[in-house]
Structure 1
Amino acid sequence: MFIEPNLTGERRGWIEVICGSMFSGKTEELIRRLKRARIANLKVEIFKPGIDIRYDEVNIVSHDSNAIHSTPIDNSQKILLLAQDVDVIGIDEAQFFDDEITHVCQQLANRGCRVIVAGLDMDYLGKPFGQMPYLLSVADYITKLHAICVECGNIASFSYRTGAGDQQVLLGEKDVYQPLCRKHYFDKTHS
């Protein structure tokens, strides 16, 4: 990603969205970008939804156990209160946040912050998930990551739910979800 140099000294903000299916490396990429921002001596604040306690109650943890400290919150407006005088804001699992998350990200970017958001772009039914479509529409930079289909080894864009239940939000890992390519997702959901 090329970012124009700012020679005037004024802070310019933007929104980066990292999206994809389960097991595509979204959190890993978010952590990588945030750690690089810290190496550059930028002030970084990181947030995750309070309901995501799969690996840790506080830290953001990727599937391969990379971790970074975060602040769990239950309301996206709290980000505005807690992210004062920061350069970079990281937000994981954005699909789980309330309807205000897009507005919050825009306010932060307008303040001059670099906002990096990661989340599932589709739910297990293959439908747009939560506020992610809105975040994608206002993002300055978008990175779509792909997993590997467990059936054939091609790129996977879909999160297939293997377990029972029809609620949209069901936290789980490989015991509940599999990454599948379009063909195998279609085959399993239409058989």
Structure 2
Amino acid sequence: MFIEPKRGRGQGQKTGWIEVVCGSMFSGKTEELIRRLNRAKIAKQQVEIFKPSIDVRYHDIDIVSHNQTSIRSTPVNASDEILLMTSDCEVVGIDEAQFFDAGIVEVANKLAENGKRVIIAGLDMDSKGVPFGPMPALMAIAEYVTKVHAICVVCGDIAHYSYRKVPNEQQVMLGESDTYEARCRKCFIAG
């Protein structure tokens, strides 16, 4: 269970930090991101939320989890756009971080250095089981990392791999349950 940290009471400047929620497809990453952002809103904190503009699976603007929980966001084409839209907020949410350019790491650091709570969700591995995009670097700089798990659709064990069911060699291929399924290590390797 993730316990939300309390803000430090330093000398004027608020303490910022980075939280990363990672895991496979269907593990609840976006659902957890939305839960944390909604709690920040309940606490009357100013929240800004972003997603990569290429992710239009469920909605052009909203971030939507696989179980249809949603929250309004701002789609962006490049990570540096986020810095232009976060000056007045306290909490920044970023979904599908694996699709962002490498600059997302510097953006997250700058936001945290400016006293913001940065909550990032994304796939830690691609469909080949290889670390995905900027996620390893984001996990390395984060104060808090939460790895969530799905259930293997083959055997029912804990799953942390995203198995691609259709032939396609591209690393980035948007899809849902028709394209991907969660698998444990054994079932992922068995193919």
The normalised TM-score by structure 2 is 0.96
1: CA distance between counterparts of 2:55 and 2:114? 28
Residue of 148, 160, 165 corresponding to 1:162: 165
The answer to whether structure 1 residue 142 and structure 2 residue 145 are counterparts is yes
How far does the alpha carbon of each residue in 1:70-91 deviate from its partner, in whole angstroms, 9 at most, with x for none?
0000010000001111100000
Offset at residue 152 of structure 1 (A): 0.9
What secondary structure, in the 3-state scheme, does the structure 1 residue paired with 2:105 have? Answer: helix
Write out per-residue CA displacement over residues 53-109 of structure 1, whole angstroms, 9 at most, x where no aligned residue. 000000000000000000000010000001111100000000000110000000000
Match of 2:59 in 1: 56
Q: Normalising by structure 1, what TM-score? A: 0.96
Q: CA RMSD in A?
A: 1.0
**1:1-191 pair list within 5 angstroms:** 1=3, 3-4=5-6, 6-8=8-10, 10-188=13-191
CA distance in 2, matches of 1:50, 1:57: 8
Count of residue pairs brought into register by the alignment: 188
Displacement of 1:4:
4.6
Q: Percent identity?
A: 57
Unaligned segments of structure 1, at least 5 residues = none
In structure 2, give the amino acid aligned to 1:164: P
Gaps of 5+ in 2: none
| Whole-angstrom CA distance in 2 between matches of 1:149 and 1:127 | 18
1:7 deviates by: 3.3
How many Å separate the matches in 1 of 2:42 and 2:65?
A: 20
- Kept in 1: contact 2:7–2:14 (CA 8 A): no
